[in-house]
Amino acid sequence: MKATTEVMTFSDLGLNEILLRALEREGYTTPTPVQSQAIPALLQGRDLLGVAQTGTGKTAAFALPILHRLLADKRRPAPNTARALILAPTRELAAQIADSFRSYGHFFRPSVGVIVGGVSHRPQNEMLARGLDVLVATPGRLLDHLGSGRLKLGTTEVLVLDEADHMLDLGFIVPIRQIVAKLPKQRQTLLFSATMPREISALADDMLRDPTKVSVTPAATTAERVSLNDREISRAIVFTRTKRGADRVAQHLESAGVGADAIHGNKSQSQRLRALDGFRKGRTRVLVATDIAARGIDVDGVTHVVNFELPEVAEAYVHRIGRTARAGATGQAISLCDNGERPLLRAIEKLTRQTLEFTDRRADGARQDDGDSARPAPKRPNSPSPHRNGAQYPRREGQRPAAKRPGAAFNGQKRPANGGARHKQANRPQV
């Protein structure tokens, strides 16, 4: 009997041959779950509500059907229009999405443009004047161009809203509604979000028509791929709550001999791109980032995600750990947690339906275990969860946060044998 439910290859999904060649060139052999669920419906012209975070392959899930549409109907875009519009919350994500379109469109070279703030208007004006097949934009600058009449969306065929919950965090909901109002009612609309706060479901209800719903549960999927046996920290992202904290952690790592760079909202666009490029190319081993700066960063091979502080909002944890164990790879998530953060930890465990694996570390810096923080940690009593995706390092109340010194955390991981000794250095600056 022939199995008809299981889709195994990209050609089974019905994608154009020219795209299949590009995917082969990219080394993609099998569609990820979000791709095999979304692509057939999108090829039929359906709207889509996708609950998926970065790392699931969601970019290709929307880019491939859009490119397929362009190939099926090779009209040249009229000046000052875009056939497909993708809205992204950050400049970095917008640039990455555009790169994905260029890669997947390698064999037919669609015109792909990026409109983001922080750079001069003139090249953007010229690009828009020519008209684009695919326009990837952040909302603020896009509204400028709509206001000045340099861009008209009245003929746009497809709209994608990527990382909608992050757009909400950044206050983009009103701009998004203003942009959507300029698009024709007759269009295909896709909305992707890692989480579904109330405001986003309301936006989805208003924007989408009878959408196909695709949900790839990020926490469980990620947890299953995260392994505590991987001791090598070759590419790590450390998350801090504040921009200042990110700078300090990066400085301390640098002075401890660990190549690090910080990325956050106070850095210029060129500094951010340089930091990202260094990290991507392996010149910098550790990228220290705030949540907002890191959202949507697409770098392969991130072996570790370290939560220097737990995020205030549990959903952010899911986004953070989604930076590792991407597209089938394995990775490790480590969270440093003090007593004051226990409510945050409980919220994360509730949201992810996991109990995080737990390693204790005494406040004077000495370990209760053998000093090897990378080894599978002792179980926390009464921890029933089958999924483990990281270790928690609580410290005693009122004590110095030994575990939060970046040198300690990283050297402990890097050189397990002398990790304990390093933690005893009392004069390590606090962050």
Among 32, 90, 284, 332, binds ligand AMP (CB under 6 A): 32
Q: How far is the CB of 300 from ligand AMP (least distance, A)?
A: 5
Nearest CB to ligand AMP, comparing residues 56 and 303: 56
Query: Torsion angle, CA of 248/250/251/253, rounded to 10 degrees?
Result: 120
- Binding piece for ligand AMP, criterion CB under 6 A, among 27-35, 141-149, 206-214, 346-354: 27-35
Residues from 265 through 324 that contact ligand AMP (CB under 6 A): 298, 300
Q: Work out whether 12 is an interface residue with ligand AMP (CB under 6 A).
A: no
Nearest CB to ligand AMP, comparing residues 143 and 190: 190
Q: Closest Cα to residue 193, out of 207, 180, 179? A: 207
DSSP for 236-301 reads EEEEESSHHHHHHHHHHHHHTT--EEEE-TTS-HHHHHHHHHHHHTTS-SEEEEEHHHHTT---TT
Nearest CB to ligand AMP, comparing residues 113 and 322: 322
- Contact between 159 and 180 under an 8 Å Cβ cutoff? The reply is yes
Nearest residue to the partner ligand AMP, using Cβ: 59
- Contact between 22 and 104 under an 8 Å Cβ cutoff? The reply is yes
109 sits in the region (left: phi over 0; alpha: psi -120 to 50; else beta) called left
Start-to-end CA distance of the chain, whole Å, equals 62
Q: How far is the CB of 2 from ligand AMP (least distance, A)?
A: 23
Query: Torsion angle, CA of 322/173/102/276, rounded to 10 degrees?
Result: -50
Token output for 305 = 């995600």
Q: How far is the CB of 328 from ligand AMP (least distance, A)?
A: 7
- Please state, in angstroms and rounded to a whole number, the distance separating the CA atoms of residues 83 and 74: 11
- Binding piece for ligand AMP, criterion CB under 6 A, among 50-58, 78-86, 202-210, 259-267: 50-58
Q: How far is the CB of 100 from ligand AMP (least distance, A)?
A: 7
Q: Work out whether 394 is an interface residue with ligand AMP (CB under 6 A).
A: no
Q: Work out whether 326 is an interface residue with ligand AMP (CB under 6 A).
A: yes
Q: Work out whether 37 is an interface residue with ligand AMP (CB under 6 A).
A: no
Backbone phi and psi for residue 85, each to the nearest 5 degrees, phi listed first: -120, 125
Backbone phi and psi for residue 406, each to the nearest 5 degrees, phi listed first: -60, -40
Q: Work out whether 24 is an interface residue with ligand AMP (CB under 6 A).
A: no
Among 54, 81, 352, 392, binds ligand AMP (CB under 6 A): 54
Q: How far is the CB of 108 from ligand AMP (least distance, A)?
A: 19
Among 7, 15, 51, 60, binds ligand AMP (CB under 6 A): 60
Q: Work out whether 88 is an interface residue with ligand AMP (CB under 6 A).
A: no
- Please state, in angstroms and rounded to a whole number, the distance separating the CA atoms of residues 356 and 349: 7
H or E element that contains 132: strand 132-137
Among 50, 57, 139, 331, binds ligand AMP (CB under 6 A): 57
Site pattern 205..244 for ligand AMP (x: CB under 6 A): ----------------------------------------
Q: How far is the CB of 10 from ligand AMP (least distance, A)?
A: 8
Q: How far is the CB of 421 from ligand AMP (least distance, A)?
A: 39
Q: Work out whether 77 is an interface residue with ligand AMP (CB under 6 A).
A: no
Q: Work out whether 187 is an interface residue with ligand AMP (CB under 6 A).
A: no
- Please state, in angstroms and rounded to a whole number, the distance separating the CA atoms of residues 400 and 384: 30
Q: Work out whether 390 is an interface residue with ligand AMP (CB under 6 A).
A: no
Query: What Cα–Cα distance (Å) separates residue 393 from each residue in 80, 158, 357, 401?
Result: 54, 46, 10, 10
Where does this chain bind ligand AMP (CB under 6 A)? 28, 30-32, 35, 54-60, 298, 300, 326-327
